[in-house]
Every structure is written in structure tokens, then in C-alpha cells.
Amino acid sequence: MNASDLKASNLEQALCFFNPTKPLSDVGLRLWYVPRSRSPRGRMRTLLEKETEAQRILFVGHRGSGKSTELNKLAEELEPSFHTIEMNLIDITGRTTPEYDDLMLAMSTRVTRYCIEKKLIRRPLGEALGERWQDLLDWWQQLAGSAQLPTVATEENLSVKLNTILGQLELGVKQSSQTRDRVKLRLNQQMPELIERLNWVIEQAESGGRPLLIIVEGLDKVDLESANNIFRDHSPTITTPRAAMVFTFPLALRHSDHFNTIRLSFPEVFYLPNICPRKVDASEDQDGLAALRRLVLARIEERLIMPEALELILRNNGGVPVWLVALIRGAILYALERGGDRIAIGDAENAVRDLLRETLPPLSREDHRVLRARHQDRLLSNDSMEQRLLYNGSLIEYANAVPWCDAHPVLWPLLEDGEHGRQE
Amino acid sequence: MVVKSDFTKPEEKSAFSRLVTLLRLVEGAWALAVIDNQSERRVSQQLRAALDPLPVIEVSFLDIGPSPLPLLRARNIPEGSAAPVIIFNAVGTAMPDLFWYIDVHREKIAKYRHRLVLLVTERERLLLLEKAPNFCSRLSGVFRFTRRPATPMPIDYRALLATLEPNPEPAL
């Protein structure tokens, strides 16, 4: 993609540029990323770069708030000073109920494989180093053990052989619960050995001058009990690797009784707030609206969307980037359907209506009652009902003042229309 | 963009036109088509005709199990070829396991260029939104081809799910 492809010049192109299925990365990140004033990315970067001790950071944000995009941007910015290893625990393990040993195994295999593939570890030439390499290989082979892994073809290069074993181990553990159970049983008896070998790899890799940063995504989506198991009950283990680490963290746990315990091991917690189109007193937040406008106009020429249509979309997405992208895409489809060459107010209105009727999660009467109350008082609490509504996206948290919340804007007519606010 | 179909109701005509436009233009798009017993077969047939020459593959979850990933892996798209449209039916038969697969593996699914359409009943749409929110937050659109409109909110959720029409017969 070159500079002329920076912004969509017609609606067909715009439809492709507003893609809700993926966060920004690579070319999209370079072309369309818009800095957000309240993003903690800058502070995270400063902390990682300035502190001599490897940091362990928790990163929290709502679904669709742009966490993955911000982490991709952080990795890009840190590229001159860190080797960054990004991994998604759910992708690697295939589980939404991972345990701490799943995390440790995944981190170890991924970090080791990365360091091998990027040639960050000195080749096993000298005798001492060669012995260490052989030990690493032997140890992983015995961990894989009688797990039904295909025989590794004889290879002269220890590091290549090791990389192959680790790849097969990852696959075996993911695809077979029997293999996983066998390996974990062995691993639990040898966790100190795993940590020792992982730290040796990290030390070798960092001896070249650039430290490692491990970014672990997916932990914000795991079962809450699993997250507690990992962060609260096994924090001493998961913080033993001597590399900087960033973990995504479930929003619901931030408001739980366990959070203070978790903070003892993870003092650095950074929250990515949603963009704020309004203030807590319901007046417009011009900075927030401007940020949302920049997000849109980074990808589409301004002439392709009528001002009133853009304003309607800016006021109805709740400050959540994924909804903004969805509304723009929906409006483009309506415009293309009528043969228009730009988005008009009717297209935006249809997109907003569809978001309410077809895409927001269903709400019960009790949900409705709570949302109406929060729309009126905007008070944020750790009440379990509200946490559920935050999770499903019908309640949105903001941080342009003391943290507050409001119902998704497309729900407001429903909530304001009498006792039950029945949708027409 | 002109899209021909034999849908006569304005809402269905609009939904079909927008769905076809989306699928024609956007590789990797994910869409829900909300259908009922009467419209399911018609939507599939009309999509196949309207999307030609894009390859359209119809797949039943009865045949592939609750995860779409093995199918996507198997249907590798040669470099330079247009990504096919995959229409999934019998979605209800894959529930509840389907919720887990598409929600947990949405990042992996997003790596494939295939254009995905899930044919769902109103009941299944509500369940997907409730149980697979991570997947649904990435949808490119929900397109309706049913006699009844979307269930108005607020709802008596449990009672409603008990009274909504049962899943249509799996397409033969």
C-alpha cells in the first residue's frame, strides 16, 4: 500500500478500509493509527524503557476498545529497544480455561522458538555452550516424553532440532487433551527446571544488548476463575521469567474483591479507556468527539460522508472504536444500496437503527432497569449485574473524570421512553 | 451498485442488496443472515446466483461439527484467487459448542480471507449475541430475511427463547 491509498476515495474502497474483524497491524497500523490522548501506551513505553528492572504490566480495556491495536503500536514503537514476542494464550492452547502451567508452557515454548528463529541465542559451538544446548534439548524431549509426538528426524543443528520439538509439543498439547494432561503432569513436577531453562534462554537472548518483552494476549477473555487462578494464585510463578511482560487482563476482575491481592504482584496496571464523546454531566466532550472524527477521517476522504451523517455516527458509537467502525460500514452499505456516492444522514440513521435492533446483545427487563438507572445517575460500581452489562457492551465505562458509566447511546431512546421504553 | 433478486418486501430487498455488496467487495467479511423456515433455501439460492462468479460453498454444521476452522484450513485459497463465500447452515445444531469455537478462535478465523455467512434463526441470533460476544463484535452486518421483525427489547429472555419457532429443518 502506498501513500495514495491512505484514504478511501470512494465508498467501495471505504467498505474495505473499515474492517471490524481485525485490529490494526502492519500497513494498517502505519497508515491509519490515530493516537488517543488518554491511552496509557506512552506511560507503558516509558516504564518499559526507563526502568532497569523487567516490568510486569497488566493491560485492561473493554471489548472493542482497541487494546490489540494499542499493543501492536506499542510493539512497533519499542522495536528499536526491545525484542517483542507477541502471543495469544487462547490461540496457542485452544482453551478458555487455561491454568498457570498452560501459560508457563506456552511462554517457554514461544520465547524459546522466537529466540531460535531470530538467532538471538549463541550457536552451540563452544563446549560449555554446547552442553547447555544439549541439556535444553534433552530436557524438552523428556518433557514431551511418551506424548505421541512424531519422531524427530536426525538433524545436526541442535537449535533446529529443538525448535522442531517445541513446535510439535505445542501442537500436540493443543490438539490432544491426553497429551496435554501427560505433559502437564510432568511439568508440574519440574516447574523450577522449566523456569531455569527459560531464564537461560532469556539471558542468552538479551546478551546481545536488547531486552525481551513478552506480550501475552487473550487473558482478558478467559474464564474468570481461570484468570484468578493465574493472576491471584500463581503470580509468583508467572512473574519469575526475567523478561518484561505485558498481560491483557479481564475487565471484570478489576472490580472484583481479588484485585487488591493481584495488585501486590502486579503493581503496574494500565487501563485503556474508551474514547469519551460526552462528559459525566452529559455535555459534549469536544476532545473525545474530535478523536473519533480523526479515527474516521484517517481512512476516508471527508467528502464521502456528509457532516450531519458523521456527527450522528460520532454520537452513537459510545466511544468504542469497534462500534464506530461497524456503524461506518453499515452506513456505507446503505449508501451503496441506494446508488449514492457518499454517506447521507438516512444511511447513518439506518446503521444506528440496525446496531440497536440486530447487533447489541438482548436485554432483559432487569437489564433495562439497571441501564435506565445508570443512564440517569452515571454511577459506576462493582455490582455484578453492572459488570455483566459492561461485559456485553450495553453499559460503557468512561474515564474523562472520576470513572463513570452510561448506557450505550443507541439505547437511550429505549431507556428514556417511559417506564419500559419499549422499542418500536 | 445494482443487485438483482426476487425478494419483493422492501426490507428483504434492502438486506439482500447490502449483503451481496458486502460479500462481493470485502474479503474476510463475517455476516449473519437471519432466516426462517420459509426463507432459508431462498436466501442461499439467491446468494449463489447474485454472487456469481465468486465461488459459493454451502456447508452444514451437521457435517463439519461445531468448529469452522478445519474447513477454513482445508479450503486453502490459492494466491491471487478470489476468496470464496462460505454459507453455513444448521447453525443451531452446533450450539452450544459453536459459541466457544467462534468466540475463542475469532483471531484465528480472522486470518482467513474467506467471506462467511451464518444462516441463523432469530433464536440463534439472540443466543450468538449473548454467548459469543467477542465474535459478534466483529460482524460486518446482520441481514434479516424473516416474516417477523427483530425481537423488541426489553425481553423476557428465557420465556422468549422457549416460544420462538424451532430451528428449520436442515437443508437437504
SS (H, E, C) A55-91: CEEEEEECCCCCHHHHHHHHHHHHCCCCEEEEEEHHH
B interface test, pick of A22, A337, A347, A408 with most B CB neighbours within 10 Å: A337
Contact A274, A318 (CB under 8 A): yes
Binned at pLDDT 50, 70 and 90, residue A256 comes out as: confident
**H or E segment at B142?**
strand B141-145
| pLDDT single digits (tens) A39-48 | 999 999 999 9
- Alpha carbon of B47: minimum distance to chain A alpha carbons (Å): 16
Best B101, B153, B164 residue to mutate vs chain A (most A CBs within 10 Å) = B153
The nearest alpha carbon in chain A to B161 belongs to A362
Cα dihedral A30, A34, A37, A43 in deg (nearest 10): -20
What percent of chain A lies above the pLDDT cut of 70? 93
Closest approach of B86 to chain A, Cα-based (Å): 16
Which of B125, B134, B151 lies nearest to residue A63, judging by beta carbons?
Answer: B134
Confidence of residue B25 (pLDDT cuts 50, 70, 90): very high
Q: What is the mean pLDDT of chain A?
A: 89
**Which pLDDT score is estimated for A52?**
85
Give yes or no for a contact between B87 and B49, defined as CB atoms under 8 angstroms apart.
no
Q: What is the pLDDT of residue A343?
A: 98
Whether the CB-CB separation of A174 and A92 falls below 8 Å is answered with yes
Which site among B35, B137, B142, B164 would you substitute to test the A interface, given the most A Cβ atoms closer than 10 Å to its Cβ?
A: B137
pLDDT value of residue A20: 84
Contact (CB<8Å) A336/B18: yes
Q: What is the pLDDT of residue B101?
A: 87
Which one-letter DSSP state was computed for residue A411? G
Q: Which of B22, B106, B134 sits opposite A333 (nearest CB)?
A: B22
User: What is the distance between the alpha carbons of residues B114 and B83, in angstroms, rounded to a whole number?
Assistant: 5
Residue A372 in grid coordinates: 435506565
In this complex, how many residue pairs, one in chain A and one in chain B, have their CB atoms less than 8 Å apart?
Answer: 123
- Write down the pLDDT at residue B171: 33
Task: Report pLDDT for A421.
Answer: 47
Strands A395-398 and A268-272, how do they pair?
unpaired
B133 touches chain A (CB under 8 A): yes
- Asked whether the beta carbons of residue A221 and residue B104 sit closer than 8 angstroms, the reply is yes
Contacts of B160 (CB under 8 A, 6+ apart): B126, B151
> Does B157 contact A364 at a Cβ distance shorter than 8 Å?
yes
Mean pLDDT of all residues in A84-113: 90
Please give the radius of gyration of chain A, using alpha carbons only, rounded to the nearest integer.
24
Render pLDDT for A132-172 as a digit per residue (tens, 0 to 9): 778 888 889 888 874 445 555 444 577 888 888 899 888 88
Q: Is the pLDDT of residue A81 over 90?
A: yes
pLDDT band at A371 (very low <50, low <70, confident <90, very high): very high
Asked whether the beta carbons of residue A368 and residue B153 sit closer than 8 angstroms, the reply is: yes
Question: Is B69 near chain A, with CB under 8 Å?
Answer: no
Rounded Cα gap, residues A78 and A91, in angstroms: 24
Does A123 have pLDDT greater than 70? no
Average pLDDT over residues B146-170: 66
Nearest alpha-carbon partner for A101 in A178, A186, A169, A214: A186
Query: Which residue in B32, B129, B141 is closest to A361 by CB distance?
Result: B129
Percentage of chain B beyond pLDDT 70 is: 90
Q: Do B157 and A90 touch (CB under 8 A)?
A: no
Q: How far is B23 from chain A (nearest CA, A)?
A: 11
- Any idea what the Cα angle at residue A272 is, between residues A266 and A275, rounded to 5°? 165
For residue B64, pLDDT beyond 50: yes
